[in-house]
Structure 1
Amino acid sequence: MNDEKDPQGNPWIKSAMIWAGVIVALLLFVSMFDSRTASSAGAGIAYSEFRAKVQEGQVKDVAIAADRISGTLTSGQKFSTVPVNDPGLTGLLDDYNVKYSGQAEEQPSFWMILIYQSLPFLLILGIAFFVLRQMQKGGGAGGAMGFGKSKAKLLTEKHGKVTFDDVAGIDEAREELQEIVEFLKDPSKFARLGGKIPKGALLVGSPGTGKTLLARAIAGEAGVPFFTISGSDFVEMFVGVGASRVRDMFEQAKKNAPCIVFIDEIDAVGRHRGAGLGNGNDEREQTLNQLLVEMDGFEANEGIIIVAATNRPDVLDPALLRPGRFDRQVVVPRPDIEGREKILAVHMKKVPLAPDVNPRTIARGTPGFSGADLANLVNEAALMAARRGKRLVAMDEFEAAKDKVMMGSERRSMVMTDDEKKMTAYHEAGHAIVAVHEPASDPIHKATIIPRGRALGMVMRLPERDSYSYHRDKMHANMAVAMGGRVAEEIIFGYDKVSSGASGDIQYATKLARDMVTQWGMSDKLGPLQYEEQQGETFLGYSQSQRVHMSDETAKLIDKEIRGLVEQGYARAQEILKGHEDQLHLLANAMLEYETLSGEEIKTLLDKGEITRDDGTTIKPSTIPAVGSSIPKTRRRKGPFGDPSPAGA
C-alpha cells in the first residue's frame, strides 16, 4: 500500500507558518527601528553628570530639545540626558564655550505611524481570513470547523498487516471475500464475462467471531487503499453533519479508487427508519439516506467496495440490504471444533508450548467459543504460566485458564463449613452418577467442589463433537442429570435438609421442558405446534419470549406438560441414584478427599473402586457414608488439572 497521507494537514500547517512568519517579520522591523533610534540618541547620563562634564570642559556641543538634551563629548562620544528646570543652563554653556542649538521635537515617519496603527487590524484580518479558509475547506476531521469532515482513517501496513493466513476457522466466509480480492487485483477477469463485483458486502456474526479481522485481511491481500470508520463516527448532535461526513468519505474514496471502505458497527447509523419514538432521529435518518444515495444513487461510484460489519442484521433498514447496495451478506459463525483447533494453532504460534499441549483437546472442551474467546484463553494460559514462573505453557495452564474463562476464578478465600462441603460433594456426585448411567448424556470431563464464580461446585460435560440439534432422548437425559444434585441431597441428608444449591439446575430443567413443549412440539398432548415465539430484542442478556394467543385451558395444559417432563427427569434421577447409592458415597468421598477429578478418573473409580495414578500411587476412598463424620484432609497431589488445592478450599 501507499504510505498514509493527510490531504488536509499540510495546507493547515502551511497557512499557520505563513501568518506566523508575517507577524515575526513585523515585530523584527519595529524592534530594529527602535534599536536604531536608541543608538542614534547615544548613551544616557544623569543631568548632574552632564553639568559636571560641561564644567570640566569635556562637552563639545549640545542640541537642546523640550524633553531631551543630546550632544557630543570632546572625545567624540555621543550622549543624551533628560533636562530639568534649569534657567542658568545657557549661561553655563556660554561660560565654557560649548556650542548649543535648539532641536525641534522629532516626529515619527509616515510609515512608522502606518505600521503602528495597522498592525492590530492586520492581525484581526489574518485570523478572520484563516478561519474562513478553514470553514471553506471543512477544517479537517479534527479541526474546530471540521464537523462535516469524514473521520475515516486510511489503514496502511504500519498499522499491522493482516492476511488470510491469519484468519482461521471461518473458511466459508473467507472464500466469499476472496472473490472481492481477486476482482481488485484483476477486474478484467470478471468484466469479460459480463460479471459485476458486488458493491457491498455485509459481515454478519456474533461479537468476537472475526468480522473486523476479515476486513483487515481483505485490505492486506488486495493491496489497495483501505479506509476504516465506525458507524458511530457519522452520528453527531447537529443535523446534517452525518450526511456531510458520508459525502466527504466517498469523495476521499473516489480519489483513491479502487479502494475498500470498511464501516464497523453499521447498525449505529443504518437502523430501520421510522422505528423510533415519534418521527425518529432526523440526523441519523439523513445520514442513512445519504449513505443509500452514495452506495447506489444517480451517480455511480465505480471502484469503491463497501464492507460493513454488524451483529444485529435484524435492525438494519431494508433499503440498505437490497441488491445494488449490500449485495452479499457473509455470515461469520462461531467456529466448530475443526475451526477452533485452527484458531488455537494461530494464536499458539506466539506462545512457547510444552510437549503435552493438545489443541484438539482444548478445542473439544470449548464449544461455543468465538475467535476472541480462544485468543483470550491462550493469553490467560500464558499469564498463568508466567505467574507460576514456568518457561513453557503446559496443558495444566490451559485447563486452568479454560475453567477461569468458563466458570470464573477459584474462590479459595471462601470459608465453607464441613456440612456445606459434604452437601456440595454429594450434590456434584449426584450429577456425575446420573450422567454416567444415562446413555444419551455427554461424557463427563471434570467434576470439582472448588467454588468458582457463583457456583460452589461443577460437573462439566463435554460432547464428543459439536451438536447442531438435540434429540428427545438427550433432552430427557439432560433433565435427569440436572435433577441429580437435588435428588442426591434428598436421599443422603433427608427432605428437610435439601438446600437452595439446585436453583440453577431447576431453572435449566424448566426452560428445557418449556422449549420442548411450546417450541419444539415434543408433547404428545399438545402436538407439533408452536405456543411461544422468540422476540428479536434481548433484555439483560436473556431473549424475550411471548406466548401466542391461546385459551386458558391450553395454557393450563402447557404448564401441566412442563411439570410432567421435569418430574419425569426427577423420577429418573431417583431411580438411578437409589440403585447406585454405593457409587454415590464412593464418588462423594473421593471428591471430599481430592476436590477435583477428571472424567477418566471418575470412570475408573466407579469401575474398580480405586484409581492408580501414573506415579504409582493408588487413590482408594472410603465407601462408608461421610454423613456425620469429619472430612478427610485433602491429599497434596499433582492432578491432571494443575496444582493441588489446599484442604478446606
Structure 2
Amino acid sequence: MQPGAATVETTSFNDFMDLASKTAPRRGSSSLSHQTSLSPTQLIARAAVKAALSRAALRGLRDRRAIVIVLQVPSAAWVEPVQDAIANLAVGRVEVIGAAYREKSTSDNREDSALHAMSLGRPVIGIAPSMAFLPQVLVAAADHTLAIPPLSPALVGQVIAKWCGVRRPPLVRAEHLAGLDLRDVAAVLRCAGTTTSPRAYLARLKRAARHRVGPPEAETLPPLADLTGYDEAKVWAEMLVADIARVRAGDLDPRELEGALFWGKPGTGKTLLARVLSAEAGVPFRATSVAMWFGNSPGYLNDIIKQIDQFCDGLLMAARSSSARTAVGFVDELDALPNRAKLSDRNSDFFSVVVTHCLMRWEELRRAGIVLIAATNHPENIDPALLRPGRFDRQFEITPPDEQGRLGILRQHLGPDLAAVDVTPAARLSSGATGAMLAGSVKAARRRARSSGRPMSLDDLLSEIAPPDARHPDEIRAVAIHEAAHAIVAHRLGLAVVQVTVQPAGDAAGATRLRLLTGVPGRQDLERRALALLSGRAADSLLGRGANAGASHDLQEATRIVTSLHASLGLGATLAHRIEPAEAERLLQWDREVTTLVEQDLQHLMRQAEAVVWANREAILATAELLVVHRVLVGDEVAAVAAAHPPRVRVKAVRRQHPAMPSPAEAGCSPACRQ
C-alpha cells in the first residue's frame, strides 16, 4: 500500500465491541467462520487493535475528534487488516495513511498529503511497520503513538477459542508462535471441514512455527556437541548458546550477544554451524542472501530495499515472539554485498545505497539483541564497516577438518552403516576434504552398494574417497621417496610433520604438510624450512631415479625464502627492505647481485640437504615403503619410523657459512654426493 490519505466509512464503535460476543457460535456449533463474514485475518487484526489502543485513543475515535494516532505494526502484512479494524472502531469518517513500505514519491508530496488529511477535522491514523515509512509531519503531530506487538500467546489463544466457539482458550506457548506472522496464524485458522477442536489448531500452529524457525529438515540436524572440525568457531558457538540460555533466564541483556562472520573454502559447513547453533539455542532462524533479494524481486533499488526490510522486520518479529527474546539472522555469501571503496562509478549509485541501508538496519537488529551471522568464501571483498563491533563482531576461519574431524563427519553421515567397522583409513585418505565432499562420498558409496544389491562396505567408501592409483608402481615409489625425504628431514630438523601422502591432488603428485612454529622466525628457522624443501630433490638424486621437474614448486618456495632473507627481512648481508617477502623472487629478474647471492645460498643448502638425506637414507626408504602401501602417514607414524632408523652419522649443528647447518662431511655424505 502506498502512503496517502484514504477516507473510510466506518461502523460504530459499540458494534465492534460486541462483535465477537454476538457472532461467536455456542459450544458444539461448527465454526465462527460459518456464523459471520469475518475472516481469520480480520478477527486477529481486530483483536490486536482492540488490545493495543489506549482508552484515550478509543474515546477520540468514538467522539470523532480531530486526533492523530500513529500505529506501528509488526510487519507489512498487518497494514491493510489494521486499517480495516480501525474502520470498525471509529464512528463516521476517518483518514488513514497506510505505508507497508518506504514510499518512492517525493518527501514534499507525502508531507502535503498528510497535512491536508489533518486539516479536515477528522481522526487521522498512520499505520506502518516503521515510523520512517510515514510522513514525518504526521509522526511529529501524533497525539497517540502506539505499537501493536507481535502476536502474543494470550491473544492467539483467545482468537482460537472464539474461532472454535469455546470458552476456555488453549494453552499457547511462545515457542508455538516463533517466527509466525499474521498470515501464518490466519492460515492455521482456515476453514477445514470438521476441524473445530482447539487442540487441532494448536497442532497446526506448532507445525507452522517449526517450519518458520528453521528448514523442514531442522529436526535432523546433529547436536552441536557432535560437530567436529570447527575449532574456535565451535567454542564460540557453545558460549553463545550458553549466553542465550542466560538471556532466556533473565540474567543477561540480549544486546550483549555477539555476531560473527564464518569464512573459508566452499563446503566447510559454515551454514550448517549457524543452523545447528540456532537449533541448539532454541531460537528462530531466518536466512537470506543478496541473491535472494534479486531473485525474489524485479531487482530495482526500491525492491531490494523492501527485501532487506522484510528480512529485518521478520527477525524483529521472531525475536519478540521468542521466549529467549532473540533470534539468529543468517546472511549467506556476504561478499556479494560489495565493498563501497571498490565500486565503479557505474555501480556506486545503486550499491552504495544498498550497503548503507544494510548497515543501518543490521545495526538496528543488533541493538534489539538479535544475533547476526554471515558466511563468505572471500572475506577480503567485504566492506570493512560490516565487520566492526556491533554488526559482525567476530571472524572465524572454517578450515577443512583434520583427521579426527573427518572421522566424526563420516560417522555422522554414515549413521548405522559400517557401525562396527573402523573407518579411520577412509578419514586418513580424505585429507583436505570438506564436510560437503565427505557427505557426497558417503552417498556415492551407498549408491555403489545398492547397485550391487548388497550392504555398504568399507571398500565402497574407500573407492569413492580415494580411487585406486592408476600410476605405474615405479612412479608411485619415486613420489614416495621424494615425499618421505621431506618428512624425515623436516622431523630431524625439528619441524612438526602433520601428514605426508602420495595421493595426487591437482598438479601435485604427493604432498607433505608441516606445522610451522608460531613466533618471529630467524635466519636459522627459515633456512631449516628451505632445507626441508630441497631434501625432496636431494632424495630424487641420491635414492630415486634422478633429479626431475617434480621438485619445481619446492625450488620456487626455497628461492622465495632465501631471496626474502636478503631483500626483505634484513637477515642477509644488507638491511635494505626492497620488496615484500611474498614477491621476493621477482627481484631476481633484474638484480644480478641478489641473484648471485641467492644461487650461492641455494647451492650450499642443497649440499647440506644431500648430506642429511644420505645420513637418513634408511629412514627415508622405510617411510617410502609404508607410503606405497598406506598412501598416507601422519606425524606420529613418521616419528616412529625415524626413531627406529637413526641416522648413520650424527647430524649436529656446526658454524660454517650459516649456523646450525651440518656440512656434507660431518653428515657422513659419500664423496660422490659432494661432487
- TM-score normalized by structure 2? 0.49
Aligned to 2:573: 525
- Structure 1 residue 216, shift from structure 2 partner: 0.7
* Number of residue equivalences: 421
Residue from 336, 345, 363 that aligns with 1:278: 345
Task: Tell me whether 1:372 sits opposite 2:436 in the alignment.
Answer: yes
- Which residue of the other structure, out of 328, 339, 349, is the alignment partner of 1:260? 328
2:247 counterpart of 1:187: yes
Shift of 1:291: 1.4
Q: Tell me if structure 2 keeps the 8 A contact 1:479–1:566.
A: no
In 2, Cα distance between equivalents of 1:383 and 1:569:
51
Against the structure 1 CA distance between its residues 252 and 517, is the aligned structure 2 distance closer, same or farther, given a 3 Å change threshold? same
Asked whether the equivalents of residues 169 and 335 of structure 1 are also in contact (C-alpha less than 8 Å), the reply is yes
RMSD: 5.2
Query: Contact conserved, 1:201 with 1:326, CA < 8 A, in 2?
Result: yes
In structure 1, the partner of 2:604 is 568
Mapped partners of 1:567, 1:387: distance in 2: 57
Match status 1:209 vs 2:263: no
Summarize deviations over 1:34-90 as a string: whole Å, max 9, x none: xxxxxxxxxxxxxxxxxxxxxxxxxxxxxxxxxxxxxxxxxxxxxxxxxxxxxxxxx
Cα shift at 1:268 = 0.8
Summarize the alignment of residues 450-529 of structure 1 with structure 2, pairs less than 5 Å apart.
Answer: 454=507, 458=510, 461=512, 471-472=525-526, 474-484=528-538, 486-488=540-542, 499-514=548-563, 521=569, 523-526=571-574
Alignment of 1:577-596 (within 5 A): none
Residue 453 (structure 1) shift: 5.8
- Any conservation in 2 of the 1:203–1:307 contact (CA below 8 Å)? yes
Deviation at 1:569, TM superposition (A): 4.1
**Residue 317 of structure 1 corresponds to which residue in structure 2?**
383
CA contact under 8 A between 1:261 and 1:304: conserved in structure 2?
yes
Is the contact made by 1:198 and 1:328 (CA closer than 8 Å) also made in structure 2? no
Instruction: Decide whether aligned partners of structure 1 residues 365 and 178 sit closer, same or farther in structure 2, where only a CA change above 3 A counts.
Output: same
Report deviation, 1:180. Answer: 4.4
Q: CA deviation at 1:169?
A: 2.9
**Alignment match, 1:223:** 282
Query: Would the alpha carbon gap of residues 159 and 468 (structure 1) be closer, same or farther in structure 2, given more than 3 Å must change?
Result: farther
Query: Would the alpha carbon gap of residues 488 and 251 (structure 1) be closer, same or farther in structure 2, given more than 3 Å must change?
Result: same
SS at match of 1:351: coil
Cα deviation for residue 228 of structure 1 reads 1.2
Cα 1:487–1:254 change in 2 (3 A) is same
Q: Which residue of 1 aligns with 2:230?
A: 170
Structure 1: how far apart are the matches of 2:631 and 2:317?
A: 64
Larger Rg: 1
Q: Runs of 5+ in structure 2 lacking a partner?
A: 1-40, 42-98, 102-180, 182-210, 321-326, 647-675
The aligned residue for residue 245 of structure 1 is 307
* Alignment partner, residue 61 of structure 1: none
TM-fit CA distance, 1:227: 1.6
Q: Counterparts of 2:460 and 2:433 in 1: how far apart (Å)?
A: 18
Q: Is the 8 A contact 2:270 2:375 kept in 1?
A: yes
Cα separation, 1, equivalents of 2:422 and 2:366: 58
- How far the C-alpha of 1:529 sits from its partner, in A, is 5.9
Question: Which whole-Å CA distance do the structure 1 matches of 2:613 and 2:372 have between them?
Answer: 60
Distance change in 2, residues 1:379/1:516 (3 Å): farther
> Is the Cα contact below 8 Å between 1:240 and 1:287 reproduced in 2?
no
**AA partner of residue 289 (structure 1):** T
Distance change in 2, residues 1:513/1:300 (3 Å): closer
Residue 214 of structure 2 is aligned with which of 156, 169, 177? 156
Change (3 A) 1:349 1:557: farther
Q: Structure 1 residue 377: deviation in Å?
A: 5.5
Question: Which residue is 1:87 aligned to?
Answer: none
Which amino acid letter does the alignment assign opposite residue 349 of structure 2? D
Contact 1:225/1:260 (<8 A) preserved = yes
How far apart, CA to CA, are the structure 1 residues paired with 2:229 and 2:407?
8
Contact residue 268 and residue 435 of structure 2 kept, 8 A: yes
Q: Structure 2 CA distance, aligned partners of 1:583 and 1:331?
A: 36
The equivalent residue for 2:44 is none
Specify every segment of 5 or more residues in structure 1 that has no aligned partner in the other structure, as ranges: 1-13, 15-135, 139-151, 535-544, 609-649
CA–CA distance in structure 2, aligned partners of residues 322 and 446 of structure 1: 40
Deviations 1:236-257 (A, max 9, x none): 6523321121122223333333
Larger helix fraction of residues: 2
Alignment-derived partner of residue 326 in structure 1? 392
The structural deviation recorded for 1:338 is 5.0
Q: Distance in 2 between matches of 1:200 and 1:447?
A: 38
1:357 aligns with 2:423: yes
Counterpart Cα distance in 2 of 1:551 and 1:572 = 23
* Residue in 2 that maps onto 1:145: none
Give the match's secondary structure for 1:296: helix
Alignment CA distance shift 1:216-1:462 (3 Å)? same
Partner amino acid, structure 2, of 1:506: L
Going from structure 1 to structure 2, the CA distance change for 1:510 and 1:345 (only over 3 Å counts) comes to farther
Q: 3-state SS of the aligned residue for 1:187?
A: helix
Residues 290/585 of structure 1: CA separation in 2 closer, same or farther (3 Å cut): closer
Deviation at 1:233, TM superposition (A): 2.2
* Native 8 Å contact 1:353 1:392 kept in 2: no
> Which whole-Å deviations, capped at 9, do the CAs of 1:391-426 have from their partners, x for residues lacking one?
4543x666665545xxxx7446xxx7xxxx767755
Q: How does 1:334-345 map to 2 (within 5 A)?
A: 334-336=400-402, 338-345=404-411
CA deviations on 1:414-440 (whole Å, 9 max, x unpaired) are: xx7xxxx76775565455457546623
The offset of 1:348, in angstroms, is 4.3
Cα distance between partner residues in 1 of 2:300 and 2:417: 48
- Tell me the secondary structure at the aligned position of residue 566 of structure 1: helix
Query: How do 1:36-55 and structure 2 match up within 5 A?
Result: none
- The one-letter code of the counterpart of 1:291 is C
Give me the whole-angstrom Cα distance separating, in 2, the residues matched to 1:586 and 1:367.
22
Counterpart-to-counterpart distance in 1, 2:392 and 2:381: 15
Task: Go from structure 1 to structure 2 and tell me whether the alpha carbon gap of 1:337 and 1:434 turns closer, same or farther (over 3 Å shift).
Answer: closer
Q: 2:418 touches 2:457 (CA, 8 Å); kept in 1?
A: yes
Identity of aligned residues (%): 23
SS at match of 1:262: strand
- Measured after TM superposition, the shift of residue 212 of structure 1 is 0.5
Q: Which one of the candidate residues 292, 301, 305 is aligned to 2:359? A: 292
Cα distance in 2, alignment partners of residues 574 and 155 from structure 1: 63
